[in-house]
Chains A and B, each alone.
Chain A
Amino acid sequence: MGFKETVGDLFKRRKKLEEGGGEKAIEKQIAMGKLTARQRILELLDEGTFQEYDLFIEHEAKDFGMEKKELPGDGVITGTGKISGKPICIYAQDFTVAGGSLGYMHAKKITKIMDHAIKMRVPLIGINDSGGARVQEGVNSLAGYGEIFFRNTKASGVIPQISVILGPCAGGAVYSPALTDFVFVVDNISKMFITGPQVIKTVLGEEISMEELGGAKIHAEMTGNAHFYAKTEKECFDQIKQLVTFIPWNNSRRPLAFPAKEPRVEFDLEKIVPTDSKQPYDVRNVIKAISDDSEFFEVQELWARNIVIGFARINGESVGYVANQPDVLAGVLDVDSSDKAARFIRFCDAFNIPIITLVDLPGYLPGIDQEHAGVIRHGAKMLYSYSEATVPKITVILRKAYGGGYIAMNSRHLGADFVFAWPNAEIAVMGPEGAANIIFKKEIDESADPEKTRQAKIEEYKTKFANPFVAAGKGYIDAVITPNETRKFLVHAIELSINKDVQTPDRKHGIPPF
């Protein structure tokens, strides 16, 4: 046979396999409002960059009639490509082929592309759309999951790992996304849970829909399992494309620098932040006011909103922000916000992204539920991750920094490289009212007019302690700056710390409180 025939034969073979589960199954997939696995890959990657691997893989199952079944690609598409010119490895489970169920060869294809990504030091994107384990393949299917989890863990902190949930992802399957750095979900399409509504109904008699149990909104808002929430698959792909611009290819590189841009002028810091520290405002406007082009790419926007995390650029360099949000729960630290910030800090540290911390918090959220939910253990995660991080760490104290919250929010004491405070910042053990009531209790109680004395003592405390100058006098703060000087100081800090080098003692790994 000449090339003409063999090439013709190759095209025929490819075409057949590229149809996946066939016309009917594809129609069903589209009726569910979903794209096919192949369409998803092509939409996400730069045009013409997808190179498929292992299209001709065949499964080896012999039981329960499986020997007679042909499963194109064994229900998963794998390969490499580029996003915004950045090379990546990718896989997408194909729900049209046996419900995207994970059999032995299906898993082999995934672990092969994972190994490739780890070796080539490029990001890995996994698109999940699968009914779960292929029951006919028994323990081989479980082995497949285990080998994926093992690689997710080995790759953690080496290459960025992104999971996209575009269909069901239930039972053991959820643990691969849970081990990766960023999980994307889409309204009405993503479904994640350990035990589904059917089991819950049988065992507990409780009826709940898939959407209410483990839909996109639930994971974006209640559980914190998802990092990005989108209304459509297209919006989701745009989010991924944007995320990729802020992160490096691997842990030995820095994110690509962009041309520096000034913030858009409509954000005036002195108007955004009320001087009365009990008044709320949206801290995201502060971030926009000091970042390049006023662009902020928020992570976990809907979960634990009392802390804001996300990416932006300063002087063209990618940075990670961690900021208390006075607009929600007064910006307190609690179980969820500590957990959220701690993981983000570790991501930034692993991937050479400087961290900017904006401080304005009254402390930890009081409550029996918080204490019983382990706010001690979870709160400790923040101390750990800040102390452990060796990337440039810059802190700006905007208003309140009280008590344990002051320490936890990347204070000098946890190794901050730069600490700046605005002139109206209050750095103290607690707020003036609470403090006055404790320090001057006797005087207030014994005074002829306790309320008047209380107010006088609150004022006295405010003048004495509720300012940045006590901390500045000790060198805990490097400079007291005006709000409008903030960006200038940040730009300089980023420039200055570009070659920051910290040696840490050898160890196998630390033991963070998780």
Chain B
Amino acid sequence: MTKEYKELYVNGETYKTKLCKKFEQKPKWEPVNEKKITAFIPGTIREIYAKSGKEVKKGESLLILEAMKMLNKLKAPFDGKIKSVYVKENQIVTKNFLLLEFE
């Protein structure tokens, strides 16, 4: 918790108050970018089929993410061209890690 009093804006008014750790550490929200494919679960990249510059069709496999003993096939959400792939085989990734990006 903060030692000094800070300002907090709630429903039209500004209050003098301390801020707790969890409030200060809250992650900043970012709008979802459909072109960025991120890990939906932490795990290990087992195989990569996508290459930068490659055209893929909707439903085509992009890579395999192994997590909790399951081999998860990540598929292209739409037709498009791969801009870059940010991971290597056997790389361990955390949840929401950016795996690859469409153009």
Q: Do A and B come from one complex?
A: yes
Closest residue on chain A to residue B23 by CB atoms:
A329
Residue contact A279 to B11, C-beta cutoff 8 Å: no
Residue contact B29 to A372, C-beta cutoff 8 Å: yes
Residue contact B11 to A402, C-beta cutoff 8 Å: yes
Known: A204-B94, A221-B21. A433 touches B13 (CB 8 A): yes
- Cα A361 to Cα B69 in complex, Å, equals 48
**Min CB distance, A282 to chain B, in Å?**
10
- Cα A428 to Cα B5 in complex, Å, equals 26
Residue contact B5 to A280, C-beta cutoff 8 Å: yes
Residue contact B20 to A305, C-beta cutoff 8 Å: yes
Q: Which of B1, B15, B19 contacts A362 (CB 8 A)?
A: B15
Residues of B close to A403: CB separation below 8 A: 11
Interface 9-mer from A67-75, A163-171, A363-371, A411-419: A363-371
- Cα A299 to Cα B94 in complex, Å, equals 35
Known: A327-B17, A330-B17, A369-B27. A363 touches B1 (CB 8 A): no
**Min CB distance, B86 to chain A, in Å?**
16
Residues of A close to B13: CB separation below 8 A: 278, 362, 431-434
Residue contact A203 to B43, C-beta cutoff 8 Å: yes
Residue contact B29 to A330, C-beta cutoff 8 Å: no
Residue contact A435 to B29, C-beta cutoff 8 Å: no
Q: Does B77 contact A (CB under 8 A)?
A: no
Residues of A that sit less than 8 Å from B by CB? 203-206, 221-222, 278-280, 304-306, 326-332, 336, 362-363, 365-369, 372, 402-403, 430-435, 437
Residues of A close to B29: CB separation below 8 A: 368-369, 372
**Min CB distance, B40 to chain A, in Å?**
14
Residues of B close to A367: CB separation below 8 A: 26
Closest residue on chain A to residue B95 by CB atoms:
A204
Residue contact A327 to B12, C-beta cutoff 8 Å: no
Residue contact A329 to B42, C-beta cutoff 8 Å: no
**Min CB distance, B55 to chain A, in Å?**
33
Closest residue on chain B to residue A366 by CB atoms:
B10
Q: Does B99 contact A (CB under 8 A)?
A: no
Residue contact A203 to B42, C-beta cutoff 8 Å: yes
Since A332-B8, A434-B12 are in contact, a sample of 12 more A-B pairs with Cβ atoms closer than 8 Å, ordered by chain A residue number, is: A203-B92, A204-B94, A221-B21, A278-B13, A279-B16, A328-B19, A330-B15, A331-B17, A367-B26, A369-B29, A431-B12, A431-B13
Closest residue on chain A to residue B91 by CB atoms:
A205
Residues of A close to B14: CB separation below 8 A: 278
Known: A203-B42, A203-B43, A372-B29. A326 touches B12 (CB 8 A): no
Q: Does B18 contact A (CB under 8 A)?
A: yes
Residues of A close to B94: CB separation below 8 A: 204, 206
Residue contact B12 to A365, C-beta cutoff 8 Å: no
**Min CB distance, B39 to chain A, in Å?**
11
Residue contact A363 to B11, C-beta cutoff 8 Å: yes
Residue contact B11 to A204, C-beta cutoff 8 Å: no
Known: A203-B42, A368-B29, A369-B29. A328 touches B20 (CB 8 A): yes
Q: Which of A304, A329, A430, A432 contacts B8 (CB 8 A)?
A: A329
Residue contact A328 to B12, C-beta cutoff 8 Å: no
Q: When each residue 12-52 of chain B gets 1 if its CB lies under 8 Å from chain A and 0 otherwise, what string results?
A: 11111111111100110100000000000011100000000
**Min CB distance, A274 to chain B, in Å?**
10
Closest residue on chain B to residue A432 by CB atoms:
B13
Residues of A close to B92: CB separation below 8 A: 203-205
**Min CB distance, A461 to chain B, in Å?**
11
- Cα A216 to Cα B5 in complex, Å, equals 27
Residues of B close to A362: CB separation below 8 A: 10-11, 13, 15
Residue contact A330 to B10, C-beta cutoff 8 Å: yes
Closest residue on chain B to residue A363 by CB atoms:
B11
- Cα A328 to Cα B92 in complex, Å, equals 39
**Min CB distance, B98 to chain A, in Å?**
16
**Min CB distance, B94 to chain A, in Å?**
6
Residue contact B17 to A326, C-beta cutoff 8 Å: yes
Residue contact B11 to A366, C-beta cutoff 8 Å: yes
Residues of A close to B17: CB separation below 8 A: 280, 326-331
- Cα A203 to Cα B69 in complex, Å, equals 10
Residues of A close to B21: CB separation below 8 A: 221-222
Residues of B close to A206: CB separation below 8 A: 94
Closest residue on chain A to residue B18 by CB atoms:
A328
Interface-centre pick from A305, A326, A330 (highest chain B CB count, 10 A)? A330
- Cα A205 to Cα B13 in complex, Å, equals 45
Residues of A close to B19: CB separation below 8 A: 328-329
Closest residue on chain A to residue B92 by CB atoms:
A205
27 of the cross-chain contacts (CB-CB < 8 Å) are: A203-B43, A203-B44, A203-B67, A203-B92, A204-B92, A204-B94, A205-B92, A206-B94, A280-B18, A326-B15, A327-B18, A328-B17, A328-B18, A328-B19, A329-B19, A330-B15, A330-B17, A362-B15, A363-B10, A363-B11, A366-B10, A402-B11, A403-B11, A430-B11, A430-B12, A433-B12, A433-B13
- Cα A441 to Cα B84 in complex, Å, equals 50
- Cα A221 to Cα B22 in complex, Å, equals 9
- Cα A280 to Cα B4 in complex, Å, equals 11
- Cα A304 to Cα B8 in complex, Å, equals 16
